[in-house]
Structure 1
Amino acid sequence: MTVERLVEYVDRMQEAAEQARTLTDDMTESAFLTDVRTQLAVTMSLVLLGEAAARIGMSHPDFIRDHPELPWSKIKGMRNLIVHGYYCADLSAIWGTVRRDLADLISQLQSIRHWRIQGE
């Protein structure tokens, strides 16, 4: 995988995480739990996030090893849960992931991207 492709996947991860956060801005958990349209959009964003992470893992496993601060297995696990067990997915857990965990992930992805661009 080229560095450009790697940066593209990191960008896709960040974009998907930001989309999930934006989709739930100004919402309460109870509103999320009753809004099927938002649930579908958010879960698709999480699938895209996990898919980009999985592609990095397949094509550039050394990058995953170099950045253990990111919860790679949890990101891919969330994707797998949604794709393979959507009707069993815990929407409250998805809400918690989006509202609590993604802000830190976005910040970490920004740091990684800046590190890569500067070539350090």
Structure 2
Amino acid sequence: MNREERIRSLLDRIRSASLDAHGFVTELELQDFRKNLLVQRGVGMSLLMASECVVQLEAFSPDFVAEHPEIPWAMIRGMRNRMAHGYFDIDLNYVFQTAKHEVPDLVRIVETLLHIHPQGE
């Protein structure tokens, strides 16, 4: 896999996991989310997967990351670190707000980046 393919693959994984996280909460309100452990874990794992891809992208292509400050790389990495190391101290309100209200913006940005250079060009 060449450099561009690897970047596209990581962006696509970020997009996919983010869409999963958002999809789990689209029809929920915070109180419903707080009562549903399965949805909490699904959202948490999806956000963790997306943010792990961010960490991999930062390591693989720091120049790409630097060229795209419209993505809050450091915030995403920080959330990943909190979720990966603070299992029982995760702020469910923050996770819900992120999945429901912030993830759609991230997905739009990632989709734009994916369409700048379509596969094969």
What TM-score comes out, normalization by structure 2 length? 0.94
AA partner of residue 65 (structure 2): I
Q: Secondary structure of 1:117's match? A: coil
Match of 1:53 in 2: 54
Q: Distance in 2 between matches of 1:15 and 1:78?
A: 18
Q: Distance in 2 between matches of 1:48 and 1:76?
A: 11
Q: CA deviation at 1:66?
A: 0.5
Unaligned 5+ residue runs, structure 1? none
Unaligned 5+ residue runs, structure 2? none
Give the paired residue count. Answer: 120
C-alpha RMSD of the superposition: 1.6
Q: Distance in 1 between matches of 2:81 and 2:57?
A: 16
Identity in percent? 32
Q: Deviation per CA, 1:58-111, whole angstroms, max 9, x where unpaired?
A: 010000000000000111111111110021110001111111101110000001
What TM-score comes out, normalization by structure 1 length? 0.95
Q: Distance in 1 between matches of 2:119 and 2:20?
A: 26
Q: CA deviation at 1:117?
A: 2.5
Q: Deviation per CA, 1:20-75, whole angstroms, max 9, x where unpaired?
A: 01111211110000100100010000110111000000010000000000000111
